[in-house]
Amino acid sequence: MTEASTMQPANRGDARICRGCWDQMHMPIPIRGPLALPFRAFGITRSKMNPNICTICERSFRYVKKQSHVAASATILFADIRGFTHLSERIERVRLSEIVSLFQDRCAQAIWAHDGIVNKQMGDGLMAIFNFPIIRKDHAEAAILAGRDIQRLCAAALGSLQFDDLKGETLGVGVGIHSGEVEIGEFSSFRSDFTAIGGTVNLASRLESQAEAGEILISPETAAEAAALTTGAGTRLLVLKGIDQPVEARVLAVH
């Protein structure tokens, strides 16, 4: 066994070295254990996007990739609490914060468990990227599995809330997933962390906007890459804002 292979992080769990830096540069940056302490002194810590990558991946894209942005194949996942705007008009801010915290926490657990990163948090919604910076050839399957876990974990957490303001209503989450080419990089002059842009991101967002509570809407492209997980799923023909052609989405309902 070579020295490099002994340094390679495990595929799952709490990695000792940054999996993003390893996959992108083959550079072993310690993020756990005694070897990580000197790096922390220089501000290199575990990323909030995924605790198995470091802040070099998160904030130093131009140095890692040697350019401002790159094209990559990825799967994008969006998730959002259904009816949140209406709900926010009926309950107190403290209770609203509890709902958002539970949602974001459970979503992050699900995404990290399948090697995705929580790239953006938008109050009652979020965006996740699979296959960058942690490389997974089965990123479409990973995103679908994360979507299933999001629905399961959020249903348990949000369903346990007892708010008189809800009057018996059950909170739910909608998920949209699409795979394709994206541009990944730093697109702002005043923020140094990276994100993904492009038509793939837009379509994933549009799918999520049409998902009902408890549903995962999956694009045909993602379904084709993860046939074992989508065989037998229902279909729904959707006309989406900003998308030229109707999309025949696969529908997974998690109960």
pLDDT digits (tens, 9 = 90+) for 165-188: 666 566 899 999 999 999 998 887
pLDDT for 5 equals 36
Task: Kindly report, residue by residue over 111-146, the tens digit of the pLDDT.
Answer: 999 999 999 999 899 999 999 999 999 999 999 999
pLDDT for 192 equals 66
Q: Which of 13, 55, 172 is nearest to 106 (CA)?
A: 172
pLDDT for 126 equals 97
Rounded percentage of the chain residues whose pLDDT exceeds 70: 87
Per-residue pLDDT band for 162 (boundaries 50, 70, 90) equals: low
Please name the residue ranges forming H helices in 131-243. Answer: 139-159, 199-210, 220-225, 227-230
Residue 3 pLDDT exceeds 60: no
pLDDT for 168 equals 57
pLDDT for 66 equals 66
Task: Kindly report, residue by residue over 64-100, the tens digit of the pLDDT.
Answer: 666 778 899 999 999 999 888 777 777 888 888 888 9
pLDDT for 171 equals 80
pTM over 0.75: yes
Which residues fall within 8 angstroms of residue 138, CB to CB, at 6 or more apart?
A: 225, 226
Mean pLDDT for the stretch of residues 220-231: 96
Tokens for 159? 């369903």
Strand stretches in 115-189, DSSP E: 117-121, 125-130, 173-185
Residue 11 pLDDT exceeds 60: no
pLDDT for 175 equals 98
Task: Kindly report, residue by residue over 198-211, the tens digit of the pLDDT.
Answer: 999 999 999 999 99
Residue 4 pLDDT exceeds 50: no
Cα separations in angstroms, 51 against 31, 86, 106, 122, 146: 9, 33, 15, 19, 16
pLDDT for 62 equals 67
Whose tokens are 């959707």? That residue is 238
Residue 8 pLDDT exceeds 70: no
CA 241 – CA 203 distance, rounded (Å): 9
